[in-house]
Amino acid sequence: MPAKILFLVLLFALGLGQATQAFQVETLAEGLEHPWSIAFLPDGRMLVTERAGRLRVIEGGQLLAAPVAEVPDAYVAAQGGLMEVALDPDYADNGWIYLTLAHGDRRASATRLVRGRLEDMRWVENQVLFTAEPARNRPVHYGARLAFNNDGTLLLTLGDAFDFREQAQKLDSHTGSIVRLNRDGSVPADNPFVGKAGALPEIFSYGHRNPQGIVVDPESGLIWSHEHGPRGGDELNLIRPGENYGWPVATFGVDYSGARITPYTSRPGMVDPKIDWTPSIAPAGMTQYRGSLFEDWQGDLLVASLVERSIRRIRLDGESVVGDEKLPLELGMRLRDVAVGPDGAIYILTDQRDGKVLRVTP
């Protein structure tokens, strides 16, 4: 297994008037093929997904050579593969682990949510909970991030499959939406579009492009999500039930060709973003800091960026954003995900064929 590599990074105080501090960045694991998501088991082990379709285990600070066996097959192409891993909030009692993946083939694929249990490095008792409809013939923009609501339900982000952006404004398609489900995959009776003619009952919010970060504040219950814009127009949004977040009718971004998508950056009846990132940073994962190592960061959002190759710290005051700063880690790698471990350290996944798990501490 690769040796741990330690180096120091100077992390400035982000305008808070504090002295410069030294932070330690440790390479905890490497040799991962495009790692996508990380979860922490109560026994100290870590689970890491590889987009190539493997679920890996880090134990005792080392990446085990063999992946978890019998994990459901994912359609691996372009942006598709095995994506999110998350533990049930009641994992200690029920042992459920949730995965998101691209399901299908080159003709059509869609985001799927499953759950199962881990038994002696085997995935067992697999249950398919949800598959987005309709499937699309472009293996991109799956969304596929997962968060658990304070009310016991779960939220799953779904992208627009790139070529189908107009569908994000329609309620008869899961394309470009966030869905809310009970943890067994059933539909909560109080979802905003339950009983509405022509609307899919799972939809919680819509008008999204490719949301790949979602966090529920355990104290306030507020739901924060970020999404990729096209060329510019990346967004951080405060998510509320039944709301329309505008894509593609209102955006600060333009098409990759430079062509205008819409003349509007805001429209009546559509929710404006709390942050617009133009130029794009490509936000790819998000967590909220709750831990003991970075005391001044309590409740702040941390956002991993692919294009900017950074971690951004977003300071909140209730429903308002009061600070957005790039942490000067200067890692020089595309960053796919960021998470807070039980030890209060920050864990970062790099998006590479030889991807790494990094651990950041003071």
pLDDT digits 0-9 by tens, 26-50: 999 999 999 999 999 999 999 999 9
Band the pLDDT of 143: cuts 50, 70, 90.
very high
CATH number of the domain at 33-338, out of 3.40.50.300, 3.40.50.2300, 2.120.10.30, 3.40.50.2000? 2.120.10.30
Smallest Cα–Cα separation from 303: which of 325, 319, 330, 273?
A: 325
Cis peptide before 2 (omega within 30 of 0): no
Confidence (pTM): 0.95
Query: Average of pLDDT values for 226-231?
Result: 98
Answer whether 251's CB lies under 8 Å from 261's CB: yes
Q: At 176, list the tokens.
A: 């470009």
- Sign, CA torsion 192/194/198/204: positive
Answer whether residue 202 shows pLDDT above 70: yes
Band the pLDDT of 20: cuts 50, 70, 90.
low
What percent of the chain clears pLDDT 70, i.e. is strictly above it? 94
81-103 CB burial, b ≥16 within 10 A, e <16: bbbbbbbbbebeeebbbbbbbbb
One-letter amino acid of 45: R
Q: At 73, list the tokens.
A: 């097959």
DSSP-assigned states of every residue in 34-81: SEEEEEE-TTS-EEEEETTTEEEEEETTEE-SSPPBTPPP---BTTBS
Answer whether residue 4 shows pLDDT above 50: no
DSSP state letter for 93:
H
Q: At 295, list the tokens.
A: 């005391």
Answer whether 300's CB lies under 8 Å from 318's CB: no
Query: Average of pLDDT values for 97-114?
Result: 98
**Known catalytic residues?**
141
Question: What residues contact residue 182 under an 8 Å CB cut-off, 6+ apart?
Answer: 152, 153, 154, 188
The total number of residues written for the chain in this structure: 362
Q: What is the pLDDT of residue 16?
A: 40
Answer whether 55's CB lies under 8 Å from 86's CB: no
Question: What is d(CA 22, CA 101) in angstroms, rounded to the nearest whole number?
Answer: 38
Cis peptide before 139 (omega within 30 of 0): no
Q: At 179, list the tokens.
A: 């869905």
- Sign, CA torsion 58/63/65/70: positive
Band the pLDDT of 23: cuts 50, 70, 90.
confident
DSSP-assigned states of every residue in 246-275: -TTTB-S-B-TTS--S-SBS--TTSPPPSE
Question: What is d(CA 114, CA 100) in angstroms, rounded to the nearest whole number?
Answer: 6
Element (H or E) spanning 276, and its range?
A: strand 275-277
**β-pairing, 355-361 with 21-32?**
antiparallel
Question: What residues contact residue 200 under an 8 Å CB cut-off, 6+ apart?
Answer: 133, 171, 172, 173, 174, 193
Q: How far apart are the first and last CA of the chain?
A: 25
Q: What is the pLDDT of residue 119?
A: 98
pLDDT digits 0-9 by tens, 320-333: 999 999 998 989 99
pLDDT digits 0-9 by tens, 240-299: 999 999 999 999 999 999 999 999 999 999 999 999 999 999 999 999 999 999 999 999
Domain boundaries, the chain: 33-338
The mean pLDDT of the chain is 95
Answer whether residue 12 shows pLDDT above 80: no
